Amino acid sequence: MKNYNVRLYRESDFEKWNAFIEKAKNATFLFNRDFMEYHNDRFSDFSLVVEQDQKWIAVLPANVVAETVFSHQGLTYGGLVYDEKVKLDSVLEIFRRILILLKNKNIATLQLKLVPSFYSNFASEEVNYALFLAEAKLIRRDTNAVIDLQQNFTIAKGRMQGVLKARKLNLVVREEHDFELFWNQILIPNLAENHDAKPVHSLEEIQKLQCKFPNDIRQFNVYHENKIVAGTTIFETKNVAHAQYIAGDADKGSLGSVDFLYHYLLTSVFKDKRYFDFGISNENQGKNLNKGLSYWKESFGANTVVQDFYEVPTANSHLLENVLI
């Protein structure tokens, strides 16, 4: 039996955590502590570190609410993050040890929000098998609209008509380092009017995050006669360009501004990236689909990749015993 030690993350682990995330096979910059802690006033951190003979081999970015630990609710995706050299049998034992630790700390359930497969540097679905063995329950499934940019994809005629409109009107796309125009003039009014919502990140938060991750968080704005008319915020990882926010003004249909912006990103800025992720079009915990939004993304050539959410009772750790033959 391998000597694994599972423990809570400590503030003194900050640098070591970030160094581990840099080399893990299924991590992105969202798991960096500088990103995770921008909203630490909203979440009670319950991140875990797994060691073998004092060497870090896995981490679990997490927070706790009452008797449930979540693979962090403040992140788009999460789950168990591990070293490239960790094998399937080790992941099964690590997951068993995690459930035991949580149970001993009076945590009744663990909820995992898995990293969509296309984000990982290597195949990394070992934890999916562990969840099956532990009889985890699938509690939510979201649909990501994803383009494999290294395969042929077709942009629909309707989208290209928008691009032609924008070109005739001399619209211009610029990458910016200031988020204020987009946040205050486009994004916040758009979300308030159409969804009665606010951005997940305040203007101050996204500016601070961009300072921490200047190569990973990028802002592109569209201008008509020097006035901002649309924009998008992109979270860029090694394999994926992800559209975190997309918005245009009331004239986006007649200007073709958003179509023009995304045509430019797909065919120029990110053409050498492996995947482009438009994100989800789901509401109500995955049980409803915004048909129009989903169609718009698919009309750029996107296809569906699901993101799964699981819940497992910590008492089920015994189901991971005696698996290996």
Print pLDDT tens along the chain (325 aa): 578 999 999 999 999 999 999 999 999 999 999 999 998 888 999 999 999 998 999 999 999 999 999 999 999 999 999 988 899 999 999 999 999 999 999 999 999 999 999 998 888 899 999 999 999 999 999 999 999 999 999 999 999 999 999 999 999 999 999 999 999 999 999 999 988 889 999 999 999 999 999 999 999 999 999 999 999 999 999 999 999 999 999 999 999 999 999 999 999 999 999 999 999 999 999 999 999 999 999 999 999 999 999 999 999 999 999 999 9
Please report whether residue 279 resides in a domain: no
Q: Quick one: tokens of 246?
A: 């997309």
With 0.75 as the threshold, say if the pTM is over it.
Answer: yes
Write the single-letter amino acid at 159: R
What residue type is 124 in one-letter code? S
pLDDT at 123: 83
Is position 173 within any domain? yes
**Domain co-membership, 90 together with 157:** no
The structural domain count of the chain equals 2
Q: Give the CB-side neighbour count of residue 21, counting CA atoms within 13 A.
A: 22
Q: Tell me if 300 is assigned to some domain.
A: no
Strands 62-65 and 68-71: antiparallel
E strands of 126-207, at which residues? 137-148, 172-176
What type of residue is 263?
H
Q: Which two tokens stand for residue 105?
A: 């700390």
pLDDT for res 1: 58
Q: Do residues 47 and 98 both lie within one domain?
A: yes
**Does residue 76 belong to any structural domain of this protein?**
yes
- If asked whether residues 79 and 186 sit together in one domain, one would say no
Across the strands, what pairs with 280? Answer: 144
Q: Taking Cα atoms as reference points, which of 65, 34, 61 lies closest to residue 50?
A: 61
In the prediction, which pLDDT does 194 show?
83
Residues 89 and 186 in one domain: no
Cβ neighbour number for residue 89 with a 10 Å cutoff:
12
pLDDT at residue 121, rounded to an integer = 81
36, 97, 99, 250 from 7: Cα distances, Å: 18, 10, 12, 51
Q: Are residues 126 and 14 in the same domain?
A: yes
162 lies in the same domain as 264: yes
* Structure-token match 């290996």, residue found: 324
Is residue 72 a part of any domain in this protein?
yes
Q: Is residue 235 part of a domain?
A: yes
- Ramachandran assignment for 242, one of left (phi > 0), alpha (psi -120 to 50 degrees), beta (any other): beta
CA angle 50, 54, 58 (to 5 degrees): 25
Which ranges of 173-213 would DSSP assign to H, the alpha helix?
Answer: 180-181, 188-195, 203-212
Give residue 286's pLDDT.
95
Angstrom distance (rounded) from CA 182 to CA 229 = 9
Token readout for 190 is 């758009």
What residues contact 19, with CB distance under 8 A and at least 6 apart?
A: none
Residue numbers of the domain that contains 234:
151-273
**212 and 136 together in one domain:** no
Specify the pLDDT at position 7. Answer: 98
Domain-embedded: residue 284? no
Q: What is the CATH number of the domain that holds 175?
A: 3.40.630.30
| CA atoms of 93 and 103, how far apart (whole Å) | 15
Give the dihedral sign, CA 270/271/274/280: positive
61 and 23 housed in the same domain: yes
Q: Are residue 26 and residue 115 in the same domain, yes or no?
A: yes
Residue 242 lies in a domain: yes
Residue 163 and residue 131 share a domain: no
